[in-house]
Amino acid sequence: MARPSRQMTLDAPRGRTGMLGRSPQPSQDRFGRFSEAFARGMGTSSFLIGMTVFVVVWLAWNTLLPPQYQFDPRAQNFTLLTLILSLQASYAAPLILLAQNRQDDRDRVQIEQDRQRAERNLADTEYLAREVVALRMAMTELTGEVLSRDALRQELKALLEQLDARADQQADASS
């Protein structure tokens, strides 16, 4: 007996076969983007000011208030504050390094693209230089004299004007 085919519905993503189907995989780049945002945020003056205010308030609270209100007393050398700052540093350093590695990869790709573009520009320039030399040689053969740069420009302008005149004539004829 043949199985009935499932109809596609608009309320279910394509490729899902029901509750036991695979769920979509999270983007592999999501953590990298998070690390870049984290590193970018830690490098701002507002983060440094906020962190300074946090530490000053923490120290003032645990130094100036009566002992029953202190949660990280000075007598214990602010152990909790030290633990929190160490934990932040232990997570911040690898995230910043990951963000730097991603930036290095992007820079490497950009440098390669720039190199390829420069090679294409050089090849185009060399081609055009060869074409100009070929034009000079052809004009020398036609006229029997060596052409100067100004003479070549005048000849090219004359040819361009002739081409424009032909294009105008063809446009008038087709209208």
How confident is residue 122, by pLDDT bands cut at 50, 70 and 90? very high
The closest alpha carbon to 96, from 28, 32, 30, 29, belongs to: 32
- Please provide the average confidence, as pLDDT, over all residues in the chain: 83
- pLDDT tens digits for 51-100? 999 999 999 999 998 989 998 988 888 999 999 999 999 988 888 888 88
Q: Look at residue 22 in the predicted model and tell me its pLDDT.
A: 54
More confident residue, 143 or 96: 96
Q: How many CB atoms lie within 10 A of CB 86?
A: 10
By residue count, the chain amounts to 175
Contacts of 32 (CB under 8 A, 6+ apart): 98, 99, 102
- pLDDT tens digits for 106-120? 999 999 999 999 999
pTM over 0.85: no
What is the C-alpha to C-alpha distance for residues 138 and 145, in angstroms, rounded to an integer? 11
Q: Is residue 32 a contact partner of residue 98, using CB atoms and an 8 Å limit?
A: yes
Phi-psi region of 79 (alpha: psi -120 to 50; beta: other; left: phi over 0): alpha
Q: Where are the domains of the chain?
A: 30-167
